[in-house]
Amino acid sequence: MTVHTFSSRDFTRDVSAAKQAAAKGPVFITDRGRPAFALLKIEDYYRIVGANQPTLLDVMDGIPGGDDIAFDPPRRDVQIRAASFD
pLDDT tens digits, residue range 49-62?
877 677 777 777 77
Residue 14 lies in a domain: yes
Q: Give the structural domain span for 45.
A: 4-54
Does 22 fall in a domain?
yes
Check pLDDT > 80 for residue 69. no
Q: What is the pLDDT of residue 52?
A: 66
pLDDT value of residue 16: 96
Residue 47 pLDDT greater than 70, yes or no: yes
Q: What whole-number distance in Å separates Cα of residue 73 and Cα of residue 32? A: 49
Closest CA to 27 of 40, 17, 15: 40
- Mean pLDDT for 69-76 is 79
Higher pLDDT, 49 or 24: 24
- Residue 77 included in any domain: no
